[in-house]
Every structure is written in C-alpha cells, then in structure tokens.
Amino acid sequence: MGAAYFYHLTRAPLEETLPVLLGKARGAGWRIAVRGRDPERLAWLDDCLWQGPADSFLPHGLAGGPHDALQPILLTTAAEAANAPDCVMAVDGAAVSPEEVQSLQRVCILFDGTDPDAVQHARVQWKSLTDAGCSAQYWSEESGRWEKKAEK
C-alpha cells in the first residue's frame, strides 16, 4: 500500500522542486507519471526538464507520442498513464483518488504555497484521502529545508 506525500512549495518553484523529486523517484527505480490539468503547462514543464543540467538528465516524454508506454517519466493530463507508473506526481491541483494512492508506491501532490486556492485544494485532497484510509505525509520547505510536519 502506498502513501500520499504533500509538498507545500513556498521557497522553490515547481520547476525547481519537480526535477529533484523526479530524480529521487527514478533513483528508487520507479516509473513516474507527472499529472497536470493543463496541456500547455505540462509542455512548459517538459521544456524545463529538457533544459536542466546535462549531468542530471531525466529521461521523459510528453503524452501523445508513439512511445508513451516506454517513458520512465510521462507528463500527462490523463488519469491512466500509458507508462504504468509506480509513482504519480500531481501538480496544479490534478485529481488523485484513494484507490490510486493505495495501489501505487507513492503519490506526490505538489502545491504552490503562495496561492490560497492551491492551498485550500490541497487541504481538501488531504482530508479526502485520509478519510478514505490513505496514509499521508505533509512536507514543508518553510524553514529552508524540507521537513515532515504531519503524518496520518
């Protein structure tokens, strides 16, 4: 059974935090789906990942290509990712179900701590997932480093 990890972004933006988490997930041997709600925003994240440091390249693809199932990291708006992920990283308020949390190794929910709507949405997701019996952790970078602030 997996767990949902909530990442409250207050210091580093998504385009800096996501590659770090993707690197850790790849280091665990996981296939990852980065799930968003807006195809244009995912295309922007795709560009950001391609422009990262050469020594930390993250093999990935944007959904809709002929090799989606082979991608170690697939950026998608779909609820079902073609690459059979072990981990889903939900960004920009993308939906996550309790069944998904329980069937995957991990679900990461990254949300912008400077956006009150994003914070409220994450609170609703936390309550929904924990009420359904999912294990969850809340991580904050407010102090300058990531710290676990809550676990249920």
Q: Which two tokens stand for residue 110?
A: 């990254």
Q: How confident is the model at residue 79 (pLDDT cuts 50, 70, 90)?
A: very high
pLDDT digits (tens, 9 = 90+) for 99-138: 999 999 999 999 999 999 999 999 999 999 999 999 999 9
Tell me the C-alpha distance between 80 and 31, whole Å: 13
Please give the residue range of the domain that contains residue 45.
3-151
> Which single residue is written with the structure tokens 């665990």?
28
CATH code of the domain in which 35 resides: 3.40.50.10110
Q: What angle do CA 139, 18, 147 make, to 5 degrees?
A: 20
Share of the chain above pLDDT 70, in %: 100
Count how many domains the chain has.
1
Residue 152: its pLDDT value, please?
A: 93
pLDDT at 55 over 80: no
Q: Which amino acid is at 118?
A: A
Confirm if 42 and 62 have CB atoms less than 8 A apart: yes
